[in-house]
Structure 1
Amino acid sequence: MDHQLTLGDRLKVRTMIYVASEPIPRFWPMRTFIHHNPLFGLEHLPFEEAVEEAGRLFHGRGYLSRSEYQEYWQAGKVDENALRKYLHVFLEKHAETLPGISMEHWLWSLLTRCQNEQMVPRTDWLDGRILHAVLHGQAPDQDDETQKYRLQDILSHKIALDGPVYANVDRLFGTDIGSTLDDLLVKSCLDFFDEGQSAWQSPGRKQGFFAAWKEVAQHNVRFFLRGLHLRNLLDSEATPEGVVAHILRDLKVPEASWQKYITRQLTRLHGWAGFIRYRSTAKHYYWAEQYPADLTDFLAVRMVLGMALLQEAVRHHACPANAEEIQDFVHADPFSAYLRLELYTGSILPAWAQQVEDVLARRKRSGFDKMAQQYITAKSRWEAARQVKNLQRLAKAMGAAAEAELLAMTPDQLDRFLEIMRAWEKQEGFTWLRSMESHYIKDLVNRIHIPQAPAAAEEKRPFAQALLCIDVRSEPMRRHLEAIGDYQTFGIGGFFGVPISFLEYGRGTEVHLCPAIQTPKNLVLEIPAELELEEEPLYGALEHVLHELKSSVLSPFVAVEAVGLIFSLGLIGKTVAPLTYHHLHHKLHAESR
């Protein structure tokens, strides 16, 4: 149990989880999305860095594609002067080491003419020496020492020590732990965080997310059939923070890396994590008060499931069981590790896929080194050929002078050239964004006309005064209203100082009629004037019975027979006494009309 985890240790784990969850935005409640900022947890960073970090954490794209920005530029929606200004600022910092190369021309053409979404894509082996050789139709020289050094650098980047262990196992052994874990966790969340939609409620929810899930998981036949041994993991510690700490130690994740490790775990399903984070801190949230849960519960459930799936993979694939064993595996046989990464991450050259898969299936190290060296040679040439094709296409669009510059560059100059191109592409989206904003700011300022001060006139009471919301969407209404007559408008808080919630008749959730940043304390109910109050319990009971019949497991079996019996009366009548049946049928329809 928790005999090894003191109160201080538990608080330390909770603090780590709290800090690790800071970048996760809280997009809840979804009905008032207007004021939510997806970069809220990264506001301490400059905007450009925040977008880059958010893209890494949440697997999203912060800017539009290059082709979309080019369409806006051609439509006159981008400030070209601003675009050139930001380009000059960039060149002042980066292009001083490439004399004789018109980097401004290259980068401007990259911005406005390049059709590729990425001119210099990510590569493993490409450098100026290899690019220079392929550019001039030569075979690049092989340097074994440089290759080994570069291989270690590639593996340390792709198999990070602070990365989730199951993710590294997926990359190295082709398992599917990550997606399976996400599916199981999403189903567990749907069961617990149900807000009255399901007919069958998950048991024990008042105990909290982890406690309720722990009770159900120990009797879950689905987990048992999958071979997941959860009981030992759940019995190891009593509290969710104890379980998190216990599993992190079993995985041999360095304690200095715990916070980054936890962040990567939480951001894998950042939508659920954001909802739980909001739910655990919201005031007067009924479902949270009735069925409590926080990110510590969520992380504990995820880590128990992940550990069980990892143990299953170890039994079936003989793969490493913790972070240290993964690092030992990579360092002991880097060529095998690289081939595995290429094959199981889908980065392998198609012509080599079958051959590499066969060698890995035999599990004999004798063929790994030779094949890996041959594959690395082929991969480096393929990366160089792709890069040469991209550069030659761009140079052709720029003109003969650019083609000559490309061919005249030395290997060192090509290295620096690629470095500058990568740096520019990294900040290109932010440059486009600022240039578009500059265009709209100038356009707005140019359309503002300050009228000359009129001659002093006697103060006259306006025909009418109107109070409108200070929201920018109300500004056009104010301007048009003042233009059509003797009206005076004022901008004030649109809720008129009385924040209320409105619950429409027959609806299960209320609407907040106030600014999104406020929580109303007043609730207004809608009740139909013609509805007799004594009828409400009857309607409610009938609705409840109908809902139970629709959602009951037995309804499909009973309803079919019951409805079939009713329709059988008409069938019998048409068969046995058709004249009498049609006579009664027409009579009933006539009376109903």
Structure 2
Amino acid sequence: MNTTLARTLQWKNQPDTHDIDLHNLVKSASSVIAPLGPINTFAARHPWVNLEGQSFEQTARWFKDTCNLDIYPNESILQSARERGGMDQDFLEKELQQWLSKQSLQLPRETAERFCRTALLKNQLSSSTLPVSEIKSMAAKLKRFTPQMSEKHAVKTYSQRLEELGKGDAVHELNRHMIKWCKLFLDESQAVWAMPHRAEGFYRAWRKLAQHDPALSRKVRKQLSEFPEEADAALMEVLLALEIPFSEIQDYFEAHFLSLPGWGGMLLWRSQQSTDNSSLLLDYLAVRISMEWVLIKPFLPLTEKRNDKIHLEPLLAAWAEWGNLPIHAWSQLSASEIKARLALANRFDKIVRNRLWLEAWEKTYENQLKKLLLSQQPEENIKRKLAQFVFCIDVRSELFRRKLEKAGDFETFGTAGFFGLPIATCELGSNHTHRSLPVMFKPQHKVSESSPDSHIYQQRLHAVRSLWFTFKTMKHNLLSSMVLPEISGPWLSLQTLARSFVPRSAGRTLNKLREAWLDKPSTKLSLDHTQTAENVLPIGFSLKEQVHYVRQALKMMGLTDHFAPLVVICGHGSHSTNNPYHSALDCGACGGASSGFNARVLAALCNLPNVRKGLETEGIVIPQGTVFAAAEHITSRDELRFLYVPELSGKAKEAFDSIQIALPKVSEEAAAERISQLPSFQTHFKNPKAAAERLAEDWSEVRPEWGLARNAAFIIGERRLTQDCNLEGRVFLNNYNWKKDKNGAILAGIISGPATVAQWINLQYYASTVAPHYYGSGNKTTQTVTSGIGVMQGNASDLLSGLPWQSVMKSDEEAYHEPLRLLVVIQAPREYVKRVLEQNHAFAQKVKNGWIRLASIDQEGRWKSWS
């Protein structure tokens, strides 16, 4: 191969190959995919996170041209929204008029309006009624009037170009091989035999093993054996061999990443976790493009002509159906009018139409929210409450908070679920450290549980884990797997029957037995600073850090005065059984885990006398009788479970008793409202609380809860702005008082942290709804957990990055999640919003380019849309 390249494969007018920085090209190309972490620590990240420098519409066009992917809601979703009254026609008309005003039209405005309005309302051509032969004949006559292409052609991989020529199933064949090698290399727990040579890196391991792959012909295996030992050298050679122009190398890499965005995303995530894996993406492309070259080599050179022309037939058909212009009438038009009509039909394409429909839908929702928020604003009540609860901003907290506030003299606050603590956590008896903070941040401290009486607990926990590990090992061993059914059959049969027919009782009994046998002792947290080795996270916090994090947390949640006798910091998590996506239902701000640990850490820090003294010097005075406790809101059960309750003062004890009395009713009411939204509610609604528990314990349940489906807005403001509103569990609620934020630092922190996490969640649900085959993960019932890191459909698909069908769809035909881009509403004077936009370039770019929508409510109660 090397001698052939030296003789024949020289690029014309290309830079010297030594000047080509493959690492930078690979890094730039990887922006078209998003990092994908393991499913057991599911962290929301929208798939276009690195593409926000261009507008949403530009991104939509690029994906349509590159991989025929639509990222606007399809006609079925839009039609369903129209039928439900979710789109106000007045907003659609305004959007249309704005679009037309930006166009340079050579037609009467009335003619253009009539054509576009009809196109919007029909949106699909009924081609069966159109004279096809007449259209083709007229298109040939008008060929010289073809509009110019507005974008450059999309770069395709050789495999894609071969398929377009009808020469086999090249893309599928290449993907089949790549999926196999990615599964082997990335496996964390499932494979009985680990991939040989894996420590040498992806490319080197593949090169050594591919020579013995029986799925490849002898000729192909021989060619692979001649490849260079280093990935960058191999990648350079195949680029030369394929004669990829230098100007198209990055585009070519992007096309390959988009062929398997899931596996590529997992490799991207791995490459970001350690410098040892920094060249993993280059290895991946070296393997993939090398495989492509040997597979398509027999078909080279390709003789296809790239078609950059715009087809006139659909444009003529559009005018025939939407513009009431018969095909024969084109012969009577002037040249300028022909050009103008064709240009309008070309510009007002499906992407523009769907964009206008989506924006009208979003404006309708914004208007509804505006009316709801401004219709009633109660006076500020500074009376001291009996108890205060701090919940995560998660949309599922809104319903529970609403019920809780009506149940007693209680006040609730909303803040990011990790409570501003940049920590990694380690629970008692575990050697695993979990990064309990949003993926955009890195932990600065480690907090562990410990207990002087943990010896027996840890022994029993180790026994449980050893038993499970032994069982798993026996399942995969050839000899032991033959006798395993005889040993485990009776017990597993009883468990299967119990979990299948009485899941609620079985789950509750098994949990109680496990907890009783383990008998976890009371624990303390490592809150005080302990010196550690260099490059190791420090354990605990110094006093200065303790005061800093508590002050920051209290300011971010807006709780700096008028403290109640009892303040409950509420983390949240979910509980479900046999659910690969269980971490996707936990706290999005805590890396796919319950935020109860963070809640306990913050509550314990707030109770420290030295911390309170430090806060007093900065004007935050916590009364001596105020006690902080920690609890966990279990969203799939609609329960609030206390995790940490220190010694209570008299008033705090009174508050605690009132809470315990109120919680059962709150839980029942919350369950009744939430369960009614599930498709199966009719069969379980006789007792909604029992239904919630059954859904959480049923191992055949594909939809234990809706999670964050239907999320649509993020409100940054005082609780009294929303406390009398039923927001239907669709809104992230972050407390904020602009009067306590003179320099705007708190608002800036909310925008760069919680609002960004909410946007990622929002667009992940959006993508899983509008492009479920590409960004979702399909039907749960046909998923396969693979390599211990994610799920596939069947045994040879892309690693699926998004949410399952059951998380966004009500049925096979009807979507439950409404794919609207997140609306951020800020309750503050307009100069505060202007300051944020001026100082936070990334946020301003999101607003300008349509990745997020922005509105504000000023001190006079006036609403302003900024997007």
TM-score under structure 1 length normalisation:
0.65
1:126-176 alpha-carbon deviations (Å, 9 max, x no partner) = xxxx99x926xx965967x969x99xx99x998x7x532333233335132
Whether contact under 8 Å (1:79, 1:435) holds in the other structure is yes
1:232-253 alpha-carbon deviations (Å, 9 max, x no partner) = 4453422101110011111122
- How big is the shift at 1:460? 4.4
SS in 2 for 1:222: coil
Counterpart code for 1:490:
F
Q: Tell me the equivalent position of 2:116.
A: 107
Q: 1:417 aligns with which of 319, 341, 344?
A: 341
Q: 2:418 aligns with which of 486, 495, 509?
A: 495
Whether contact under 8 Å (1:78, 1:439) holds in the other structure is yes
Counterpart code for 2:208:
E
**Cα separation, partners in 2 of 1:232 and 1:427, compared to 1, 3 Å:** same
SS in 1 for 2:389: strand
Note if 1:551 corresponds to 2:476.
Answer: yes
Whether contact under 8 Å (1:208, 1:292) holds in the other structure is no
Map 1:314-353 onto structure 2 (within 5 A).
314=298, 319-320=299-300, 325-326=301-302, 329-330=303-304
- How big is the shift at 1:501? 5.8
Counterpart code for 2:477:
S
- How big is the shift at 1:443? 0.9
- How big is the shift at 1:442? 1.1
Q: Tell me the equivalent position of 1:445.
A: 370
Q: 1:304 aligns with which of 265, 276, 290?
A: 290
Q: Tell me the equivalent position of 1:198.
A: 191
Q: Tell me the equivalent position of 2:36.
A: 27
Note if 1:92 corresponds to 2:15.
Answer: no
**Cα separation, partners in 2 of 1:279 and 1:555, compared to 1, 3 Å:** same
Whether contact under 8 Å (1:16, 1:259) holds in the other structure is yes
Whether contact under 8 Å (1:120, 1:421) holds in the other structure is no
Q: Tell me the equivalent position of 1:571.
A: none
Counterpart code for 1:435:
A
Q: Tell me the equivalent position of 2:134.
A: 134
Q: Tell me the equivalent position of 2:58.
A: 49
**Cα separation, partners in 2 of 1:119 and 1:278, compared to 1, 3 Å:** farther
SS in 1 for 2:388: strand
Counterpart code for 1:301:
V
SS in 2 for 1:82: helix
Q: Tell me the equivalent position of 2:228.
A: 237
Whether contact under 8 Å (1:114, 1:394) holds in the other structure is no
Q: Tell me the equivalent position of 1:165.
A: 158
- How big is the shift at 1:229? 2.5
**Cα separation, partners in 2 of 1:35 and 1:191, compared to 1, 3 Å:** closer
SS in 2 for 1:96: coil
- How big is the shift at 1:206? 1.1
SS in 2 for 1:229: helix
Q: Tell me the equivalent position of 1:261.
A: 252
- Counterpart CA distance in 2 for 1:118 and 1:505 is 66
Whether contact under 8 Å (2:211, 2:224) holds in the other structure is no
Whether contact under 8 Å (2:267, 2:281) holds in the other structure is yes
- How big is the shift at 1:266? 1.8
- Counterpart CA distance in 1 for 2:328 and 2:85 is 31
- Counterpart CA distance in 2 for 1:479 and 1:439 is 24
- Counterpart CA distance in 2 for 1:80 and 1:100 is 20
**Cα separation, partners in 2 of 1:502 and 1:57, compared to 1, 3 Å:** farther
1:83-120 alpha-carbon deviations (Å, 9 max, x no partner) = 11121122234473223962212221221235549999
- How big is the shift at 1:513? 4.7
**Cα separation, partners in 2 of 1:164 and 1:474, compared to 1, 3 Å:** same
**Cα separation, partners in 2 of 1:535 and 1:157, compared to 1, 3 Å:** closer
- Counterpart CA distance in 2 for 1:70 and 1:179 is 34
**Cα separation, partners in 2 of 1:506 and 1:293, compared to 1, 3 Å:** farther
Whether contact under 8 Å (1:120, 1:418) holds in the other structure is no
- Counterpart CA distance in 1 for 2:108 and 2:459 is 90
Counterpart code for 1:42:
L
More helix by share: 1
**Cα separation, partners in 2 of 1:166 and 1:506, compared to 1, 3 Å:** farther
- Counterpart CA distance in 1 for 2:475 and 2:358 is 52
Counterpart code for 1:431:
L
| Structure possessing the higher relative contact order (Cα contacts under 8 Å, 6 or more residues apart) | 1
- How big is the shift at 1:487? 2.7
- Counterpart CA distance in 2 for 1:183 and 1:543 is 33
- How big is the shift at 1:185? 0.7
- Counterpart CA distance in 1 for 2:264 and 2:126 is 32
Counterpart code for 1:185:
M
SS in 1 for 2:220: coil
Q: Which is higher, the Rg of structure 1 or of structure 2?
A: 1
More strand by share: 2
- How big is the shift at 1:71? 3.6
Q: Tell me the equivalent position of 2:520.
A: none
TM-score under structure 2 length normalisation:
0.46
Q: 1:179 aligns with which of 152, 161, 172?
A: 172
Q: Which moved more, 1:183-192 or 1:250-259?
A: 250-259
Q: How many residues align?
A: 467
- How big is the shift at 1:34? 6.1
**Cα separation, partners in 2 of 1:467 and 1:22, compared to 1, 3 Å:** same
Q: Tell me the equivalent position of 2:389.
A: 466
Q: Which moved more, 1:505-514 or 1:209-218?
A: 505-514
Q: Tell me the equivalent position of 2:797.
A: none
- How big is the shift at 1:478? 4.1
Note if 1:247 corresponds to 2:238.
Answer: yes
Whether contact under 8 Å (2:319, 2:345) holds in the other structure is no
Whether contact under 8 Å (1:502, 1:524) holds in the other structure is yes
Whether contact under 8 Å (1:502, 1:512) holds in the other structure is yes
- How big is the shift at 1:41? 1.4
Map 1:138-157 onto structure 2 (within 5 A).
none
**Cα separation, partners in 2 of 1:15 and 1:219, compared to 1, 3 Å:** same
- How big is the shift at 1:25? 1.5
Whether contact under 8 Å (2:105, 2:340) holds in the other structure is no
Counterpart code for 1:79:
D
Q: 1:274 aligns with which of 250, 265, 269?
A: 265
- Counterpart CA distance in 1 for 2:59 and 2:392 is 32
Q: Tell me the equivalent position of 2:281.
A: 295
Whether contact under 8 Å (1:501, 1:523) holds in the other structure is yes
Counterpart code for 1:260:
D
Amino-acid identity (%): 23
Q: Which moved more, 1:197-206 or 1:502-511?
A: 502-511
Q: 1:38 aligns with which of 38, 47, 51?
A: 47
Q: Which moved more, 1:541-550 or 1:267-276?
A: 541-550
Counterpart code for 2:388:
Q
- How big is the shift at 1:410? 2.6
Whether contact under 8 Å (1:217, 1:230) holds in the other structure is yes
SS in 1 for 2:207: helix
**Cα separation, partners in 2 of 1:54 and 1:423, compared to 1, 3 Å:** same
- Counterpart CA distance in 2 for 1:221 and 1:113 is 53
Map 1:450-529 onto structure 2 (within 5 A).
450-451=376-377, 453=379, 460-498=383-421, 513-515=436-438, 517-520=440-443, 522=446
SS in 2 for 1:221: coil
- Counterpart CA distance in 2 for 1:89 and 1:552 is 67
Q: CA RMSD in A?
A: 4.7
Whether contact under 8 Å (2:318, 2:345) holds in the other structure is no
- Counterpart CA distance in 2 for 1:219 and 1:69 is 51
**Cα separation, partners in 2 of 1:79 and 1:119, compared to 1, 3 Å:** farther
- How big is the shift at 1:22? 1.5
Whether contact under 8 Å (1:230, 1:308) holds in the other structure is no
- Counterpart CA distance in 1 for 2:75 and 2:431 is 45
- How big is the shift at 1:482? 3.9
